[in-house]
Amino acid sequence: MLLLLILLTGRIVNLSSALSRFSLPNRSTYGITKYGIQALSDCLRFEVKRWGIRVSIIEPGSLVSGKEKYLNVSKIM
């Protein structure tokens, strides 16, 4: 696999979340896993740079889905 990394250049893209930067109540497990992806990407970026491989993180923010229409948020919190 190392030979393959040396011969090829490219980009590794990891999908994280804006919640990796700050925490919200009742979202600790989600935030921890997204921060883990952030930390992995940061370390991996330094490790594969010498082979011309770049590492990027996509951190989408809040998005609106249709589930809010069907859930009563006041019952959950």
Active-site annotation holds for 30: yes
Per the model's pLDDT, the better-predicted residue between 7 and 41 turns out to be 41
Per the model's pLDDT, the better-predicted residue between 23 and 29 turns out to be 29
Express each pLDDT in 28-71 by its tens digit: 788 888 888 889 999 999 998 888 889 999 887 766 666 656 55
Whether residue 57 contacts residue 17, with contact meaning beta carbons closer than 8 Å, is answered with no
Domain coordinates in residue numbering, the chain: 20-61
pTM recorded for the entire structure: 0.63
pLDDT greater than 60 at residue 74: no
Choosing from 12, 30, 38, 53, the catalytic residue is: 30
Beta bridge partners of 15: 58
Beta bridge partners of 57: 14
pLDDT greater than 70 at residue 3: no
